[in-house]
Structure 1
Amino acid sequence: MEKLVTKVLGSGGTALEPIDIAVIVLYLVVIVGLGCWVGLSQRRGTEGRSYFLAGGTLTWPVIGLALFSTNISTIHLVGFAEEGYKNGLAHGNFEWMAPFTLIALALFFAPFYIRSRVTTLPDFLEMRYSRGCRDWLAVLSIVSAIAVHIGFTLYTGGVVLKGLFGVPIVTSIVVAAVLTGIYTIVGGLLAVVLTESLQTIVLLIGSIIITLVAYSQVDGWDGLAASVDPVKLTMLRPASDPANLPWYSVFLGYPVIGLWYWCADQTIVQRVLGAKDENHARVGPLFAGFIKILPVFIFVLPGTLLLALVNQQKLPPLEDTKDAYAYMIRHLLPPGLTGVMAAALLAALMSTVSGALNSIATLFSYDLYKRWKPDTPDRKLVVIGRIATFVAMILAILWSPLVGRFETMYQGVNTVISHLAPPVTVVFLFGVFWRGASSVGAMTTLVSGSVLGFLVFLLGFYKDVTGYHVPFMMSAFYLFLACSAIMIVASLAYPHRHTSDSERLVWRSPLEALQGKAWPGLGNYKFLALLLFVTMVTLYAVFR
């Protein structure tokens, strides 16, 4: 058995010590065992709302950690290390802009989701607009979960595991998908968020270790600053910068994809839908916003530290920048810590995939299957959800190897999101803040915006032929403007007839969102939102 494990895990040029293998095996046993124990020991595991939304028992620390953990995947670990090595801190904007949209989730969107007691976001769209909007978003959400959240994550994880241990990419994809699918299918959302909380701790510890080791070897901040181009330690860049992320695209484009991702994507928002009450639903995202400060320093900065070590001739140059993360593990960490970092990679991969699989189960069961059979009991819905999870896992395994055709993983996933998000962002944003947003306007925006986004994506994908060279973040902004125009024109042409349900799902004014009952003292969501906002503005002022 030991020879078999060593052959599988140690054939890629990086021999594993017994302690490394022990750490990895122990991690897998704990995570899968915990998820299955939760699902099998809780009687509510057979009740629909409890299986999919953890029975409305989630508190703010668990919500915050789960939001952070589901968002952080192998794409971040691998992609940010590569971007940090090539372009410095620029792509850290994806992390530091997130707290602003998490503030929007906490203040404006979460109250509606909790008060309406919806199970899914398509359910929210039906209450605000129409059944057609619900169905369209349900299908779109399932497709995006398989293609974006699962597909890219599995492939990127496969690339890293192959680089570290010589495991074939396809084998890595299948093993990770099966193990994650087991505890997701058995345990439901409660199992997902509990294992996510543990995985977040493992991920942070592993990332902090590699950052501290690299920081020490580069001789601190002074050594780093002296060894790389000064612009690499800044966040906001001019249009001519090779990072292809000009400052104006950050402020114009990110809110479009950020509002979709943090406020209107089922995979992410499902943690908020399972909140114990409205205050927990508000404070949880704000807690996640504070944690989002860390990735720039523990995911992006290590890549720049590696560049400094190469420039200082303490390490040989990389042959392929995609291997930056695995390269640091091989060259900077002693035996034992390699196993910790491998466990951290598995934590990131399994967390993202498990969250997406559970969301797919919820969407398929409640938004598609139950429409055709409305009398389906909760117990059967859980079974249907588990079947949907299994099918989605198979489709993701088949799709994952194909995403390797993109130039880089991180830019690839964000390119897809930038063309997928605009119509959904417009429909949710206008639906919450404009009473005149109509069902016809929403449906027209979703359909035409999705088609338009796909066409623009093709223009960029085949840019050598089409000559279309607009940065993907600006494409998101332009699509947002087009979808907004469609929404306004269609809504004015076909006014909305509000029901008692839809009437209460529109803020009369933005200030109304701040009138909800809050916890006293430091737990007040208004105070925390202001503190988070000021903190992020200060960080941008320092690292601009």
Structure 2
Amino acid sequence: MIGSVDLAISIFYILGIVTIGLWAGIKHNKKIEDADVAGEYFLAGKTLRWPVIGLALFATNISCVHLVSLAQSGFDTGLLNGNFEWMAIFTLILLAVFFAPFYIKSGVSTLPDFLEKRYDRSSRDWLAIVSVVSAVIIHISFSLLAGGIVLKTLFGVDMYTSIVVISIITAIYTVIGGLRAVVVTESIQTIVLLAGAIIMSVAAYLKMGGWEPMVKVLQDNNQMDKLSMMRPHGDSSGMPWYAVFLGYPIIGIWYWCADQTIVQRVLGAKDETHARLGPLFCGFIKILPVFIFVMPGLFAYTLSQAGHLDISSLTTTAAGSTSTDTKGIYTVMITQLLPNGLMGIVVAALLSGLMSQISGALNSISTMVSYDIYQRYKPETNEQKLVKVGKISAGIALLVSLSLLPLLNNYESIFNGLNDIIAHIAPPITCVFLLGIFWKKASAISAKYTLWLGSAMGIVVFAINKLFPASIIGHIPFMMMAFYLFCFCVFIQIGLSYMFPVKHTAESQKLYWRSPLDPLRIKGSTGFGNYKTISLLLLVLMAFLFYTFR
């Protein structure tokens, strides 16, 4: 439980964010014409610059799920799940170099809209539905679950009560202010989140006495593999090195390049240059989570083994057996390693992650429901009505997300549960987007049936996995399952594209690369700000980091 000073800091932070969000959204909305209402509300008038885009991308990605579950994974398996953070950098480069130019060139407001321009209306409708559902489950429900666990431990408040209060507060400035309010608050929240995570990392490091004492504890407990990110075949984690390199791109390309909640910040870019530099800037920030989110969990493990961290509050005894629920390890670290005042800052960081994730997802849901579903059937709808529909849909999505919490809480690991669901959703969408921009023969009919059959197969496999965990399918790690499902989808789309050849429109002719080298022929800005220079620097840096922690 935290004290009154830290509680005051947390409350002051929440009130400050709400005030800034409302001010940013309302002030800007007063300046616009009625004809621009929807564009400003959902996409900030397409005026966002690369620093804001990069910070907002990171803030939308990082939530309480990451702070809580990555610390849990660091405690349980070491640096292994850091792969999700560093592999994301490669997909951010893909977004900047290959995807963003088409998104900006086509002038779309949503990614389902892009699919309609590249394929047809059926693909747009299906992606809109799947994207809304995934945003509700992945971006909101799991974040709320992680936030509820933290708030219950720290404040002693009922989990669902605290979640409802934070959700309502976040929804107020998100619904009223639109994307402008979201990106402004997300930029602030990113800074606060990073500051809080760094404070926790330094506190754990100092308590342990440095790197060498940690290594000695790992050696004494025969746990040196916790320092390795590349595990051998047969590793008990189910994530050997080849599963990371085969499975993550399927998950990552969907998440970073084809998920509306994330890419909406890029769609609001001022121009193609800012749309490219924003994701690359985010790529540099994504280097940090391994050191400030995962590493503290590893320090917590060694501290507990050395007797410097009491985790008895996480231990329960039932039917004569003792078990430890490590979901709450981050809150244990907050209360035992930090002095008064600093605890309040770290709690503010946790709230930053929770609120930014919710606000980003709600804004994306409202955008897709308005443009891709409501306007689809009522094309004569005016701008003000679209905004109203978006606000209502955001409220409904929040209620549905809250109702799913008891079901999702059954996962032993929040982070693994999150990625398990993504692994069964992502493959058909990743396939359709990749083939769509790299293969001119990808046809509309093939895309439609790939989305339908691929999604159906994902649901069937997921159900079998949960109902019959001892089956062959139940023994396949989710990363490899994502790869196998992707191969199934590629087979379907290529086969159907030859059976039903593509019939390009004047618009779709412009929305695929004639050659994978074409993007690199675009000159871009001069100097260090050139996207090719920055991309190469990121690639070299990541090769060094993976080699170091192999």
TM-score bin, normalised by smaller chain: over 0.9
Matches for 1:51-90 after TM superposition, within 5 Å: 51-90=41-80
Matched residue, 2:486: 480
Matches for 1:88-487 after TM superposition, within 5 Å: 88-228=78-218, 229-318=223-312, 319=315, 320-464=325-469, 466-467=471-472, 468-487=474-493
**1:98-125 Cα distance to aligned partner (Å, 9 max, x none):** 0100000000000000000000000000
Cα shift at 1:242: 2.7
My pick for the range that moved more, 310-319 or 164-173, is: 310-319
Instruction: For 2:299, give the aligned amino acid.
Output: L
Runs of at least 4 residues of structure 1 off by over 6 A? none
Matched residue, 1:490: 496
My pick for the range that moved more, 339-348 or 233-242, is: 233-242
- Separation of aligned partners in 2, 1:511 and 1:330: 52
- Separation of aligned partners in 1, 2:286 and 2:270: 23
Instruction: For 1:455, give the aligned amino acid.
Output: V
Matched residue, 2:319: none
Whether the 8 Å contact between 1:441 and 1:491 is mirrored in structure 2 is yes
Whether the 8 Å contact between 1:275 and 1:281 is mirrored in structure 2 is yes
- Separation of aligned partners in 1, 2:387 and 2:155: 37
Q: 1:317 to 1:169 in 2, by over 3 A?
A: closer
RMSD, aligned CA: 1.1
**1:241-272 Cα distance to aligned partner (Å, 9 max, x none):** 23221111000000000000000000000000
- Separation of aligned partners in 1, 2:106 and 2:429: 19
Cα shift at 1:377: 1.3
Matches for 1:18-37 after TM superposition, within 5 Å: 18-37=4-23
Instruction: Establish whether residue 506 from structure 1 lines up as the match of residue 512 from structure 2.
Output: yes
Instruction: For 1:94, give the aligned amino acid.
Output: F
Cα shift at 1:223: 1.1
Whether the 8 Å contact between 1:45 and 1:51 is mirrored in structure 2 is no
Q: Secondary structure at the match of 2:356?
A: helix
Cα shift at 1:165: 1.3
Whether the 8 Å contact between 1:17 and 1:335 is mirrored in structure 2 is yes
- Separation of aligned partners in 1, 2:46 and 2:386: 18
Q: Which residue of the other structure, out of 526, 530, 535, is the alignment partner of 1:529?
A: 535
Cα shift at 1:323: 1.2
- Separation of aligned partners in 2, 1:291 and 1:45: 36
My pick for the range that moved more, 279-288 or 224-233, is: 224-233
My pick for the range that moved more, 60-69 or 373-382, is: 373-382
**1:260-318 Cα distance to aligned partner (Å, 9 max, x none):** 00000000000000001100000110010111000000000000001111122222345
Unaligned runs of 5+ in 1: 1-13
TM-score, structure 2 normalization? 0.95
Matched residue, 2:526: 520
Whether the 8 Å contact between 2:311 and 2:329 is mirrored in structure 1 is no
Cα shift at 1:78: 1.0
Instruction: For 1:539, give the aligned amino acid.
Output: L
- Separation of aligned partners in 1, 2:270 and 2:181: 16
- Separation of aligned partners in 2, 1:199 and 1:277: 25
- Separation of aligned partners in 1, 2:458 and 2:410: 20
- Separation of aligned partners in 2, 1:67 and 1:490: 35
**1:415-460 Cα distance to aligned partner (Å, 9 max, x none):** 0000000000000000000000000000000000000001111122
Cα shift at 1:346: 0.7
My pick for the range that moved more, 312-321 or 380-389, is: 312-321
Instruction: For 1:349, give the aligned amino acid.
Output: L
Whether the 8 Å contact between 1:279 and 1:519 is mirrored in structure 2 is yes
Q: Secondary structure at the match of 1:260?
A: helix
Cα shift at 1:514: 1.5
- Separation of aligned partners in 2, 1:535 and 1:517: 23
**1:352-376 Cα distance to aligned partner (Å, 9 max, x none):** 1110000000000000111111111
Whether the 8 Å contact between 1:463 and 1:469 is mirrored in structure 2 is no
Cα shift at 1:219: 1.2
Whether the 8 Å contact between 2:284 and 2:538 is mirrored in structure 1 is yes
Unaligned runs of 5+ in 2: 316-324
Q: Which residue of the other structure, out of 8, 24, 41, is the alignment partner of 1:38?
A: 24
Instruction: For 1:538, give the aligned amino acid.
Output: F
**1:44-81 Cα distance to aligned partner (Å, 9 max, x none):** 39611111111111111100011111000111111111
- Separation of aligned partners in 2, 1:156 and 1:66: 20
Cα shift at 1:332: 0.1
Q: 1:167 to 1:317 in 2, by over 3 A?
A: closer
Cα shift at 1:518: 1.2
- Separation of aligned partners in 2, 1:207 and 1:232: 20
- Separation of aligned partners in 2, 1:161 and 1:241: 34
Percent identity between the aligned chains? 54
Cα shift at 1:462: 2.5
- Separation of aligned partners in 1, 2:250 and 2:119: 21
Instruction: For 2:116, give the aligned amino acid.
Output: E
Whether the 8 Å contact between 1:180 and 1:354 is mirrored in structure 2 is yes
Instruction: For 2:496, give the aligned amino acid.
Output: A
- Separation of aligned partners in 1, 2:228 and 2:469: 30
Q: Secondary structure at the match of 2:229?
A: coil
Whether the 8 Å contact between 2:118 and 2:508 is mirrored in structure 1 is yes
Matches for 1:2-21 after TM superposition, within 5 Å: 14=1, 16-21=2-7
- Separation of aligned partners in 2, 1:539 and 1:423: 31
Instruction: For 1:501, give the aligned amino acid.
Output: E
Instruction: For 1:271, give the aligned amino acid.
Output: R
Cα shift at 1:465: 5.0
